[in-house]
């Protein structure tokens, strides 16, 4: 009897322990998921900001607003330097005897690639002459390659497919260590996004190009959405090149623009597996994709000029004052164009998931439910059905929408391939969260694969916690090869190996000296802390709009609102798809009555630096739109020196004001320009100035 009681007690204890463990793991999983959502939401919001700025410049180029057209054309169009087209351009650059880095010769040999590997492991930098020569040779090779590369497994045992690397040299070296260096026996496909975000982008892309030159039949590179000179301005590659190559950095960047635009767009293995960087849409046409002159699309963010020029702005009519945002979202001028081409029978409304017959290629805003698109207006019977709403000065203008020219159709094909993401719902709709391309459902995947006799789509473009993900009933695989992408321990990297049977096998890894020593709880806590800091910085940057929203629910100025009202304001201002009620304990304090003390949102966050003397309203603008100003400044700063003239400084502010619809007093700008021109030489160190307005975590004493 005693034995039975003991066993019964043991069973109850085991059940309690299991119940506690399951609850603990469930809470840990919730934390892990919202941490991931924070990282991803902030990342995609940043990408969307870049798309909006690019669209803004394209429209200003068309309408000649605020700046001369030749100025904006100079800012966005790729720079053409005849010197770079000469085969001997790099030969005029001498290599000093004091240079201790790797020395290579062309055509490259295995000893040259080994020398590069050793040098980069030892933090050495390849001389600018070698970089230019390597890029020139890569450009010659890529010119001979098709848009869609066809491979066969009949000549090799296995093909290795890698996803985004984003300048993570350690990940690339680990892949080579685990899987072997590229060779005839170990062929590779790298599926885009080699650069940006990481600190070793130049080393990563040099190694990939070097192996491409060494094994052109066994090393294959697809273009990603970050192989784009406009994206490089924001996400670090441009800055990295200029810091490492101060003398010839501009020439190197110009050659990178050409090389990136020549990268193949897709790879097909055994006529069964399609590999692209982003995804597809209901309009993806592999035959059209094969015939595109891909080198003309220097940036997928730049809308084709000929398409814009066809819009008859001279005959447009005003539709009313542009709506100003009251909840912190951007005005109409920052929204997108060309969601779809509508016919009179399509009606005036669109659903979030358009039918499979509509075009979903777009550059659009996650802050609004839909993009600026051709619409009909019942109140105006005389208005044509096929019109485009274009922001023009302080109004929306209705512009007749022509049939899309060939150049636009080709551009849309590339945008969809580089920017799209899969979704679980059927259909195809604009990718409003990321800002470019589309969301494509299982039916879109199934139809495309069936149409071309394919069985699998492999893509990258999205960070996955395990390094890969399978969706659309096993017909779509996402592969991502940059481990610790958001934070130490945040995700694994992975690559795929395919043999003749075409069954994918996944290999995971994680580059870290510390992660293996951390428990699961410690890894989640570290990533959660980093994500919450980034979110608090975003709250501080939007402080003015948030306070306005909170005060609308707090007419008696008590400093408190309900939890529901607090969550509603954050959702409407930040436009981030986050579980605000779940995050509330980490972001604000509660009053004794259970209401939210909303000013506690901004505790422990600030600039951490001495601010220049600027008007209060201007300071708020700088905190809120610092990144947008920096993007425009980087475009204007053509030599990437960090210095711009007083007149360029004024142009920056005028463009910024027009882009976001923010009123800025000219006198305040002139006074600001004079105050930060410290040595009175007519040049402004704008980068240093913006650093004072970078939001960060404040470390408090005690």
Interval 158-210: pLDDT, tens: 999 999 999 999 999 999 999 999 999 999 999 999 999 999 999 999 999 99
Residue 155, classified by CB atoms within 10 Å of its CB into exposed (0-12), middle (13-18) or buried (19+), is: exposed
pLDDT tens-place string over residues 523-532: 788 888 888 8
Helical packing angle, 563-574 and 580-587, nearest 10°:
100
Q: Looking up tokens 């030892």, which residue turns up?
A: 122
Question: For the chain, how big is the Rg over CA atoms in Å?
Answer: 27
Pairwise CA distance, residues 619 & 696, whole Å? 16
Q: Which of 218, 226, 277, 651 is catalytic?
A: 226
Pairwise CA distance, residues 456 & 271, whole Å? 10
Same fold, 112-145+169-267 and 520-597: no
Pairwise CA distance, residues 279 & 659, whole Å? 30
Q: Model confidence at 320, in pLDDT bands (50, 70, 90)?
A: very low
For 58, residues 6+ apart whose C-beta sits below 8 A from its C-beta are 76, 302, 303, 305, 308
* Interior/surface letters 221-255, b for 16+ CB within 10 angstroms, e for the rest: bbbbbbbbbbbbbbbbbbbbbbebbeebbbbbbbb
> Which CATH fold would you assign to the domain 617-699?
Recoverin; domain 1 (1.10.238)
Q: Where are the beta strands (DSSP E) in 106-255?
A: 148-151, 159-162, 188-190, 219-221
Active site residue 226: yes
- Report DSSP letters for 350-362, one per residue: --SSB-TTS----
pLDDT average, residue stretch 280-299: 92
Pairwise CA distance, residues 250 & 247, whole Å? 8
Domain 520-597 sits in CATH at: 1.10.238
The pLDDT value given to residue 429: 92
Query: Rounded mean pLDDT of the chain?
Result: 77
Pairwise CA distance, residues 639 & 686, whole Å? 13
* Domain coordinates in residue numbering, the chain: 5-62, 112-145+169-267, 520-597, 617-699
Cβ-contact 256, 377 below 8 angstroms: no
Model pTM score: 0.78
pLDDT tens-place string over residues 462-516: 999 899 999 999 999 999 999 999 888 889 999 999 999 999 999 999 987 665 6
Q: Model confidence at 56, in pLDDT bands (50, 70, 90)?
A: low
CA angle 387/391/393 to nearest 5° reads: 135
> Which CATH fold would you assign to the domain 112-145+169-267?
Purple Acid Phosphatase; chain A, domain 2 (3.60.21)
* Interior/surface letters 446-456, b for 16+ CB within 10 angstroms, e for the rest: ebbbeeeebeb
């Amino acid at each position: 009897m005693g034995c039975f009681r003991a066993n019964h007690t043991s069973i109850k204890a085991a059940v309690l322990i299991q119940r506690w463990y399951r609850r603990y793991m469930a809470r840990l999983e919730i934390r892990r998921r919202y941490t991931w959502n924070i990282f991803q939401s902030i990342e995609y919001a940043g990408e969307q900001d870049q798309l909006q700025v690019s669209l803004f410049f394209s429209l200003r180029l068309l309408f000649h607003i605020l700046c001369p057209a030749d100025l904006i054309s100079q800012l966005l169009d790729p720079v053409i330097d005849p010197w770079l087209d000469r085969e001997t351009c790099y030969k005029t650059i001498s290599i000093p005897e004091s240079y201790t880095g790797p020395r290579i010769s062309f055509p490259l040999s295995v000893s040259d690639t080994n020398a590069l590997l050793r040098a980069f492991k030892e933090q050495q930098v390849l001389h600018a002459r070698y970089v230019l020569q390597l890029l020139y040779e890569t450009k010659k090779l890529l010119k001979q390659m098709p848009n869609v590369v066809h491979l066969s497994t009949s000549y090799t045992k296995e093909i290795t497919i890698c996803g985004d690397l984003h300048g993570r040299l350690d990940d690339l070296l680990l892949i080579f260590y685990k899987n072997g260096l590229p060779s005839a026996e170990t062929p590779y496909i790298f599926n885009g996004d080699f650069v940006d975000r990481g600190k070793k982008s130049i080393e990563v892309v040099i190694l990939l190009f070097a192996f491409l030159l060494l094994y052109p039949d066994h090393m294959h590179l697809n273009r990603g959405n970050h192989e784009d000179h406009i994206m490089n301005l924001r996400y670090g590659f441009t800055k990295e090149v200029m810091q490492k190559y101060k003398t010839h950095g501009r020439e190197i960047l110009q050659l990178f623009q050409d090389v990136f635009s020549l990268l193949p767009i897709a790879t097909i293995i055994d006529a069964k597996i399609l590999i692209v960087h982003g995804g597809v849409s209901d309009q993806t046409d592999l035959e059209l994709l094969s015939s595109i002159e891909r080198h003309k699309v220097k940036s997928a963010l730049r809308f084709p000029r000929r398409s814009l020029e066809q819009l008859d702005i001279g005959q447009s009519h005003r539709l009313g004052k542009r709506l100003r945002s009251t909840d912190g979202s951007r005005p109409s001028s920052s929204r997108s164009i060309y969601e779809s081409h509508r016919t009179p029978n399509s009606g005036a409304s669109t659903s979030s998931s358009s039918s499979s017959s509509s075009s979903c290629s777009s550059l659009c805003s996650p802050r609004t439910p839909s993009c600026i698109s051709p619409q009909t207006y019942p109140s105006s019977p005389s208005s044509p059905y096929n019109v485009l709403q274009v922001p023009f000065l302080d109004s929306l203008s209705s512009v007749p929408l022509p049939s899309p020219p060939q150049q636009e159709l080709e551009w849309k094909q590339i945008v969809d391939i580089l920017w799209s993401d899969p979704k679980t719902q059927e259909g195809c709709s604009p990718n409003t969260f990321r800002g470019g391309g589309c969301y494509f459902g299982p039916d879109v995947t199934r139809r495309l694969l069936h149409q071309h006799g394919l069985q699998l789509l492999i893509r990258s473009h999205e960070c996955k916690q395990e390094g890969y993900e399978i969706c659309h009933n096993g017909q779509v695989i996402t592969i991502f090869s940059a481990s610790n992408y958001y934070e130490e321990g945040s995700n694994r990297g992975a690559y795929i190996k395919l043999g003749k049977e075409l069954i994918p096998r996944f290999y995971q890894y994680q580059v870290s000296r510390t992660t293996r020593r951390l428990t699961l709880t410690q890894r989640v806590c570290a990533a959660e802390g980093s994500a919450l800091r980034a979110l608090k910085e975003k709250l501080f940057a939007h402080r003015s709009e948030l306070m306005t929203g909170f005060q609308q629910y707090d007419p008696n100025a008590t400093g408190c609102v309900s939890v529901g009202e607090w969550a509603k304001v954050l959702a409407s201002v930040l436009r981030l798809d986050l579980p605000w009620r779940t995050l509330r304990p980490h972001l604000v304090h509660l009053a004794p009555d259970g209401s939210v003390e909303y000013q506690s949102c901004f505790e422990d966050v600030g600039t951490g630096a001495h601010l220049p003397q600027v008007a209060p309203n201007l300071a708020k603008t700088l905190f809120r739109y610092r990144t947008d100003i920096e993007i425009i400044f980087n475009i204007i700063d053509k030599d990437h020196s960090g210095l711009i003239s007083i007149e360029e400084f004024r142009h920056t502010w005028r463009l910024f004001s027009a882009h976001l619809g923010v009123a800025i007093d000219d006198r305040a700008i002139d006074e600001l320009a004079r105050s930060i021109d410290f040595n009175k030489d007519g040049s402004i160190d704008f980068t240093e100035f913006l650093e004072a307005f970078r939001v960060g975590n404040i470390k408090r004493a005690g």
